[in-house]
C-alpha cells in the first residue's frame, strides 16, 4: 500500500484502500520508516548543536536518512531478533553515513525514543490532514443547518416518532459534534505531541549533564513539545491522542448513522448526492448510502482500537514488556480509519440532498400524534396535567384504532365535550396541532451552533 496521499482526498492503493485508506495522513511502512529516520537525523543535528558531534555530522546523517534508501521489509525481518525495527535501522543508517559522522547516529538514545518520537511525527501528519477534512465537513454541516433552519421534520426518540424538530437543528447537532471533535484533536496536536528522549532507562546517563539540553534541541528540531521528563511508561499522551481520535470517529459515526436512517426507502428524507454510486451486485434498483456506510465501517472499529491502547497504557517499570509493542499498529490503524472517516464524512455532508417536502409529508402522515404533548399542555391549565395527559392518551388510542387523526378524535365524542368544557376552541386546537408552532428553541439553538462554529473557525484558521 502506497503512502502517498492522492490529491483531493482520494484513496491510496490496495484492494480496500478506496474504502478505509482514504484521506488522512500516511501511516504505512514508508511513513513510519521516514519518521524514525527523521528522529535519528534530528538527534544528530541536536548533538552537533550541543557540541557532542562533529561539525557537519547532523547534515551528513540527515542526507542519508531517506526512507527510499532502506529496505523496510529487510529491516522488519531483522527486527525479529530484537523485538523492534530500530536496532537494524541504526546499523543500516550508521553504515550509510561517512565514518567520521557515525558517532552522531543514535547517540544517547534507546529504541523507544526513536519509535515514540516517530509515532508523534506520524500522528502530527495525520492530525493535520484529518483536521482539514473535519473543517470541510463542518463547513458543509453549517451550510445545511443555515439552509434548513426552519425546515420542519419529525423528531425521533428510541427510533419512534416524538415531537417536531427542524433539520437545521439536526445539522447543527452534527456541526457542534464535529467542531468539538476538531477542538479535541487540535488540543492534542498543539500540546500533547512531545519528543521522547530518555535513553536506556529515562536518565540520559550516556550524555551526562548535557542530556536535558539535547532533549530540548531535539524537540526544537522536530517542532515537538518538550516533556517535563521522558514518558517511556507514562502513556497518557498516546491515550489522549487515541481518545481524541475515537471522539472524532464517534461524531462522524453518529452523522453517518442518522443519514442511513433518514435515507431508508420508507423515510427518504435525505439521500447522498453524486452519480454512479450506490449500486448493488444483485439489485439494479438500489441506491445505497455508500459514504455513510463506509464511515460506519471505519468508526465501528475505533472503540476496539481505543480499548487496546487503554489496556496497553499500564506498563512496567522503565520499559514495557509487550504493551508498548501493542501500540504501534493499533495507533496506526486508528489514525488511518479516523482520517478515512473524516474524508468520507466531508464528502457525505457536502453532497447530501435534503427533501424538505418529504419531511413535511412524513410529519403530516403521522396524523397529529407527535403534537400530543402540545395538546396536553394546552389542556393542563383547565383539567390538570394528569387528566389532560389521560384525555389525550385516550384520544390517541381511539384515533389509532379508527385510523383517524388525533385532531379528528379530539373533535368528536367525549373528548370534544371535555375540550369545550375546558374552554378550548377548534381554532386553538388546530393551532396546537400545527408542528411549525411547536419548535421551541430550535431556531435559537441552531443560530447558537452556527455562531459558535464561526468563532471556532476563526480561531483555528485555515
CATH number assigned to the domain covering 110-196+231-356: 1.20.200.10
The mean pLDDT value for 362-377 works out to 92
pLDDT digits (tens, 9 = 90+) for 209-229: 999 999 999 999 999 999 999
Distance CA 199, CA 56 (A): 23
Weakest-pLDDT range from 19-28, 142-151, 273-282, 356-365: 273-282
Report the 10 Å Cβ neighbour count for 376: 22
Weakest-pLDDT range from 11-15, 194-198, 223-227: 11-15
- Band the pLDDT of 8: cuts 50, 70, 90: very low
Common-topology check for domains 24-109+209-221 and 369-432: no
Q: Which pLDDT does position 390 carry in this prediction?
A: 93
Residue with cell 537494524: 88
Q: Which pLDDT does position 302 carry in this prediction?
A: 98
Which helix (H) or strand (E) is 417 found in, with range? helix 413-421
Mean of the per-residue pLDDT values of the chain = 93
Instruction: State the distance between the two ends of the chain, measured CA to CA, in whole angstroms.
Output: 29
The mean pLDDT value for 59-88 works out to 97
CATH C-level class of 24-109+209-221: mainly alpha
User: Could you tell me which residue, 454 or 3, shows the higher pLDDT?
Assistant: 454
- Domain limits of the chain? 24-109+209-221, 110-196+231-356, 369-432
Is the per-residue pLDDT at 60 higher than 70? yes
Active site residues: 280, 319
Q: How long is the chain?
A: 462
Q: Which pLDDT does position 7 carry in this prediction?
A: 36
pLDDT digits (tens, 9 = 90+) for 312-355: 999 999 999 999 999 999 999 999 999 999 999 999 999 999 99
Distance CA 162, CA 343 (A): 32
CA 447 to chain centre: 24
The model carries a pTM of 0.92
Weakest-pLDDT range from 28-37, 114-123, 258-267, 403-412: 403-412
Distance CA 365, CA 324 (A): 57
CATH number assigned to the domain covering 369-432: 1.10.40
Amino acid at each position: 500500500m502506497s503512502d502517498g496521499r492522492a490529491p483531493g482526498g482520494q484513496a491510496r492503493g490496495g484492494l480496500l484502500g478506496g474504502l478505509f485508506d482514504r484521506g488522512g495522513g500516511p501511516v504505512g511502512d514508508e511513513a513510519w520508516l521516514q519518521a524514525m529516520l527523521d528522529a535519528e537525523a534530528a538527534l544528530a543535528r541536536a548533538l552537533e548543536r550541543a557540541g557532542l558531534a562533529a561539525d557537519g555530522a547532523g547534515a551528513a546523517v540527515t542526507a542519508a536518512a531517506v526512507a527510499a534508501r532502506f529496505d523496510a521489509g529487510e529491516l522488519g525481518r531483522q527486527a525479529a531478533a530484537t523485538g523492534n525495527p530500530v536496532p537494524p535501522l541504526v546499523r543500516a543508517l550508521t553504515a550509510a553515513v561517512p565514518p567520521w559522522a557515525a558517532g552522531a547516529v543514535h547517540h544517547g538514545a534507546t529504541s523507544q525514543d526513536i519509535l515514540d518520537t516517530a509515532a508523534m511525527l506520524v500522528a502530527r501528519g495525520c492530525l493535520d490532514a484529518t483536521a482539514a477534512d473535519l473543517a470541510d465537513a463542518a463547513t458543509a454541516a453549517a451550510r445545511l443547518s443555515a439552509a434548513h433552519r426552519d425546515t420542519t421534520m419529525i423528531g425521533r426518540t428510541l427510533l419512534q416518532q416524538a415531537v417536531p424538530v427542524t433539520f437545521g437543528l439536526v445539522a447543527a447537532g452534527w456541526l457542534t459534534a464535529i467542531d468539538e471533535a476538531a477542538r479535541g484533536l487540535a488540543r492534542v496536536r498543539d500540546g500533547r505531541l512531545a519528543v521522547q528522549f530518555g535513553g536506556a532507562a529515562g536518565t540520559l546517563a550516556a550524555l551526562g549533564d548535557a542530556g536535558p539540553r539535547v532533549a530540548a534541541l531535539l524537540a526544537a528540531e522536530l517542532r515537538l513539545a518538550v516533556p517535563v521528563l521522558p514518558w517511556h511508561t507514562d502513556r497518557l499522551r498516546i491515550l489522549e491522542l487515541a481518545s481524541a481520535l475515537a471522539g472524532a470517529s464517534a461524531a462522524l459515526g453518529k452523522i453517518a448513522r442518522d443519514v442511513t436512517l433518514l435515507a431508508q426507502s420508507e423515510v427518504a428524507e435525505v439521500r447522498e448526492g453524486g452519480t454512479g454510486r450506490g449500486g448493488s451486485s444483485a439489485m439494479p434498483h438500489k441506491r445505497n448510502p455508500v459514504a455513510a456506510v463506509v464511515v460506519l465501517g471505519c468508526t465501528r472499529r475505533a472503540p476496539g482500537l481505543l480499548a487496546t491502547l487503554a489496556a496497553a497504557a499500564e506498563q512496567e517499570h522503565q520499559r514495557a514488556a509487550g504493551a508498548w509493542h501493542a501500540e504501534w499498529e493499533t495507533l496506526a490503524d486508528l489514525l488511518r480509519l479516523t482520517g478515512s472517516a473524516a474524508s468520507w464524512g466531508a464528502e457525505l455532508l457536502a453532497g447530501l440532498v435534503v427533501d424538505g417536502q418529504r419531511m413535511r409529508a412524513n410529519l403530516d402522515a403521522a396524523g397529529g400524534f407527535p403534537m400530543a404533548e402540545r395538546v396536553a399542555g394546552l389542556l393542563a391549565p383547565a383539567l390538570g396535567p394528569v387528566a389532560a395527559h389521560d384525555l389525550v392518551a385516550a384520544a390517541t388510542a381511539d384515533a389509532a384504532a379508527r385510523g383517524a387523526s388525533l385532531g379528528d378524535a379530539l373533535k368528536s365524542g367525549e373528548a370534544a365535550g371535555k375540550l369545550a368544557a375546558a374552554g378550548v376552541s377548534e381554532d386553538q386546537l388546530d393551532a396546537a396541532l400545527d408542528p411549525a408552532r411547536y419548535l421551541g428553541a430550535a431556531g435559537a439553538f441552531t443560530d447558537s451552533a452556527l455562531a459558535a462554529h464561526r468563532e471556532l473557525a476563526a480561531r483555528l484558521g485555515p
